[in-house]
Amino acid sequence: MLLGVAGLVKGDCRSIDGPTLDRAAELGFRTVQIRVNDPQDVTDRDVARIKSLYAGHGFPMPQTVGNYGGGLVAEDGAARSATIKFVKRMINLTARLGSPNTYFRPGSLNPQGPWKPHPRNRSQEVFDRLVDSAKQICAVADNEGVKMAIEGGVVCPLYSARRVRDFIDAVGSKSLCFNMDPVNFVGSIEQAYDTTALLNEFYDLLPDRIIGAHAKDFTLVEALLPHFEEEIIGQPRAMLDEEAFLAGMQRVCPNGHVLIEHLPDEKVPLAAEGLRAAAKRAGIKWDE
């Protein structure tokens, strides 16, 4: 597996430079996720420069991620069409960059953001709308040879391993894959205290579709009502079974990326140290 980071870049892909990749290499990372504000703004010259930088550092081209919201399930037809068009352009840019996959955000009906809850996010109506959006998008991905790395979480339409599997089967595209991010799916006390079972459910149901992963951790806040918040990997309060997470990835996706995410730059080294320690305990060696 390839250890990388979703971070260290100030701004979008056009801000990536030699010192940024130098820093990533110093921290032991082998690639850096490419974030895109608007694929239409990325010129051929930008693409050539980015590809040259990654090649010069011996970095494989990474996952791309576009900055779009929850529009793939929007009730407003114009908003949904605009988001579909954006993701199609992300596929085109990903192909130009020679990157293997682009991040696929399922969205939400909540106007405050794609990772915010809404009472109808789990409805069949929203699920069907997402399937329709995905079919339109995956037609382009199939043609371009780009994989779509769908993600999910308890607050969005793809809220469990079973729901993700049903979604992939309903879309029926060879390009539609899954980006493993188990922390997003912790939604109960039972799951928090037995993350190994949660992880195994994904590896059992989606072994043929997991294309990569995002690495982070979480903790359960000690309070009357259950509340979860993210925690740095390897810290005493962290609760995810990182060894089982990495062992499962090694089993079903040995050539995939594992990208540390959601941390300010100064905390990335600590998370990397925690993840490497978990890999060592699990007997896993990272690809060089």
Distance (Å, whole) CA 249 – CA 285: 12
Q: What is the reported pTM?
A: 0.95
Q: Which residue has the tokens 């059992």?
A: 204
C-beta separation of 184 from 153 below 8 A: yes
Digits of tens for pLDDT over the chain (288 positions)?
Answer: 999 999 999 999 999 999 999 999 999 999 999 999 999 999 999 999 999 999 999 999 999 999 999 999 999 999 999 999 999 999 999 999 999 999 999 999 999 999 999 999 999 999 999 999 999 999 999 999 999 999 999 999 999 999 999 999 999 999 999 999 999 999 999 999 999 999 999 999 999 999 999 999 999 999 999 999 999 999 999 999 999 999 999 999 999 999 999 999 999 999 999 999 999 999 999 997
Classify residue 123 as exposed, middle or buried by CB count within 10 Å of its CB (0-12, 13-18, 19+): middle
Name the residue ranges covered by the structural domains of the chain: 63-180
In one-letter notation, the amino acid at residue 253 is: C
User: 176-180 and 217-220: which strand pairing?
Assistant: unpaired
| Residue 165 vs residues 122, 169, 189, 201, 266: alpha-carbon distances, Å | 15, 6, 23, 11, 36
| Residue 188 vs residues 184, 220, 227: alpha-carbon distances, Å | 12, 10, 9
Q: Give 187-203 pLDDT, tens digit per residue.
A: 999 999 999 999 999 99
Provide the residue count of the chain.
Answer: 288
Q: Give 219-229 pLDDT, tens digit per residue.
A: 999 999 999 99
The candidate with the shortest Cα–Cα distance to 151, out of 200, 61, 100, 213, is 213
Q: Does domain 63-180 have CATH number 3.30.2000.20?
A: no
